[in-house]
Amino acid sequence: MRTVTVVGASLSGLHAARELRAQGFDGRLVIVGEEPHRPYDRPPLSKDFLIGRADEDRLALADADETAGLDAEWLLGVRARGLDPRGRGVLLGDGRTVSTDGVVIATGAAARRLPGPGPAGVHTLRTLDDARALRGELIRGPRRIVVIGGGFIGAETASSCARLGHAVTVVEAAPLPLVPQLGAEMAAVCAGLHRRGGVELITGTGVAALRGAATVTGVELTDGRTLPADVVIVGIGAVPDTAWLAGSTLALQDGVLCDEGCVTALPQVVAVGDVARAGGIRAEHWTSATEQPRAAVTNLLAGRTLATARTVPYFWSDQYDSRIQFAGRYREGDTVHLAEGEITDDGLPGESGFLARYARDGRTVAVLGVDRPRAFMRARRELQRARQPEVRRPEVRRPEVRRPEDRRPEGRRAEDGRSADGPSDDRQPPERQEAAPVGP
C-alpha cells in the first residue's frame, strides 16, 4: 500500500494514523478533516472546558513533536464528499480527489438537531466551536437554561451549567433518562443526581416548539406548559456521519457496517470510532474509538481480517461531582444488585459511592460504579478476563457490498428528527438496534 487516507481528523482518526506508523506503514498518509482544528478531545467540552477549568490547549490530543513524527499530509477544513465505488479515491468538497490504496473512515457522529433553523440561543454540543459558542453565553451572567434530553451529554451539560450558577431545567421525553443504558433502577439513581445538583428534571414530556423569533425565549412542552429560557441546549443524541458515503458501495445502516475487525465489504476500507457499526454494534465511547484502530489497521495492511476489535464496552460520565463508570452491556431483563457501597433512602449514591453488578443467566454481564473507581476497575478487569476466550474465537462476518438498487439514504428520519430506527443515545445505542447481538 502506497497511500492511506484517513477521513476524520479526531480521536479515532488520530489513533488510526498512530497505528499505521506503529505497524510499519511508511507510505503517504493523508488525513482529511472537516473541522479546521487539529485533533482535540471531546469529553472535556461538556465538563471542564464549559466551566472554564480547562482551556483549549488542554484539549489537544497530540503535541507538535508527535504531529511532525506522523509525517502526514493534513487536509483540514475540508469535507470528504464521496468515496468512489472501488474505494480508491476520496472526493473532497473543494473538488480535489485523493487517489488512495487504503481508506480509514473515522468521521464520527454529528449532534442530532431539532428540525428547522432555530432562533439564536439554541445550542448543540459536539464540536469545539459548539462549546466555544455555548461557553460565550454562559459567562454573560445568570441565565435560564433548558436542556432538551437527559442523556449523558444533556446531564453533563446541565451539571456544568448548574455549577456556573445558572437556573437549569432538563426535559426528557421518556419516563426516566438513561434506561436503555443502565436499566430503570440505576437510571433512577442517576436521575436523582439532577435533584442533588439543584436542577429540575421534567420527564415523560416532549418538546412541542421553541418560542422566540430572533432569540429563543422559551420551550413549549407537549403537556401545554411553557418553560421560559434564555439558552436552550439540545442534547438528543448523535447521528453517524455517513452522508458523504451515500454514493459508495459500502453498506450503511446507522453507521458503516463492518465486521468485528472493522473491515467493510471492501477489504481496503475500514471504519473506526463512532461511525463504525462493527460486528453489529456501534458504540459512541471514547475508549472504543481508541481501541478499534489497532485491529482495523492490522487488517487494512493485511488486506483481510486477522484481528478483531471486540472488547468489553466501557464509558464514563462526570455529573454533579460524581463519576459514573459503566462496562459491559445492559439488556432489558438483566437483574441488577448492589455489590458494594450504598444507595441512600433518597435513592442517591452514598458518601463512598457504590458498585452494582448486572447479571444474565447467572453471569455478570455489566458493572456500574458511581464514585467507586477502584472497585469498578477491578470489576471491569474481571469482566474483560471472562470475555477473553470469546475474543480468541471470533466469528468474522463481512458485510456485503451494496448493489446500486439497495442504496437508500442512510438513517431514515422520523419527523421529529430522530432516526426512524429508534434514537441512538449519545453513549450507547439501544441493544435492539443491533444486527448481530454480541453480548459480553
Q: Does 49 bind ligand FAD (CB under 6 A)?
A: no
* Residue 42 Cβ vs ligand FAD, minimum distance, rounded to whole Å: 4
172 binds ligand FAD (CB under 6 A): no
Q: Does 317 bind ligand FAD (CB under 6 A)?
A: yes
Site for ligand FAD contains 32 (CB under 6 A): yes
35 part of the interface to ligand FAD, by CB under 6 A: yes
* Interactions with ligand FAD, residue window 57-96 (CB under 6 A): 79-80
Backbone angles phi, psi at 105, to 5 degrees: -90, 120
Task: Determine if 107 is a binding residue for ligand FAD (CB under 6 A).
Answer: yes
State whether the Cα torsion 308-434-370-231 is positive or negative: positive
Instruction: Write out the binding residues for ligand FAD, residues 398-417 only, by CB under 6 A.
Output: none
Residues 191-210 close enough to bind ligand FAD by CB under 6 A: none
100 binds ligand FAD per the rule CB under 6 A: no
> Looking at beta carbons, which pairs linking 301-305 to residues 24 or more positions away fall under 8 Å?
301/1, 301/20, 301/23, 301/24, 301/25, 301/102, 303/267, 303/268, 304/263, 304/267, 305/259, 305/260, 305/261, 305/263, 305/396, 305/398
Judge contact between 67 and 83, C-beta under 8 A: no
Q: Does position 30 bind ligand FAD by CB under 6 A?
A: no
Q: Which is nearer to ligand FAD, 233 or 375 (CB)?
A: 233
Residue range at the interface with ligand FAD (CB under 6 A); choices 3-11, 207-215, 299-307, 376-384: 3-11
Q: Smallest distance from the beta carbon of 292 to ligand FAD, in angstroms?
A: 9
Binding of ligand FAD at residue 289 (CB under 6 A)?
yes
Residue 227 or 278 having the CB closest to ligand FAD: 278
Grid cell 506503514 is found at 25
Give yes or no for residue 284 binding ligand FAD (CB under 6 A): yes
State how far the alpha carbon of 171 is from the alpha carbons of 72, 115, 123, 226, 353, in Å: 44, 17, 15, 11, 26
Region binding ligand FAD by CB under 6 A among candidate stretches 43-51, 55-63, 198-206, 367-375 = 43-51
125 binds ligand FAD (CB under 6 A): yes
5 binds ligand FAD (CB under 6 A): no
Using CA atoms of 159, 426, 364, 440 in order, give the dihedral in degrees to the nearest 10: -150
Counting Cβ atoms within 10 Å, is residue 388 exposed (0-12), middle (13-18) or buried (19+)?
exposed
Q: Segment contacting ligand FAD (CB under 6 A): 6-14, 142-150, 175-183, 391-399?
A: 6-14
282 close to 432: Cβ distance less than 8 angstroms: no
For the range 378-381, what are the long-range contacts, defined as Cβ-Cβ under 8 Å and sequence gap of 24 or more? 379/327, 379/339, 379/355, 380/312, 380/314, 380/325, 380/327
The yes or no reply on residue 33 touching ligand FAD (CB under 6 A) is yes
Among positions 133-162, residues that touch ligand FAD (CB under 6 A) are 153
Considering beta carbons, is residue 221 or 263 the nearer one to ligand FAD?
263
Nearest to 396 by CA among 298, 330, 322: 298
CA-closest candidate to residue 134, choices 41, 37, 42, 45: 45
Stretch of residues binding ligand FAD (CB under 6 A), selected from 53-61, 105-113, 133-141, 293-301: 105-113
**What gap in Å lies between CA 76 and CA 9, rounded to an integer?**
8
30 bridge partner residues: 5, 73
Residues 6+ apart with CB under 8 A from 417: 112, 113, 114, 115, 236
Q: Residue 103, interface with ligand FAD (CB under 6 A)?
A: no
Q: Is 255 in the site for ligand FAD (CB under 6 A)?
A: no
| Binding residues with ligand FAD: total (CB under 6 A) | 36
Residue 12 CB, shortest distance to ligand FAD, in Å, is 4
Of 35 and 340, the one with the shorter C-beta distance to ligand FAD is 35
Distance in angstroms (rounded) separating the CA atoms of residues 27 and 123: 41
* Binding region for ligand FAD (CB under 6 A): 7-13, 32-35, 42-43, 45-46, 79-80, 106-109, 125-126, 153, 241, 244, 273-274, 284-287, 289, 315-317
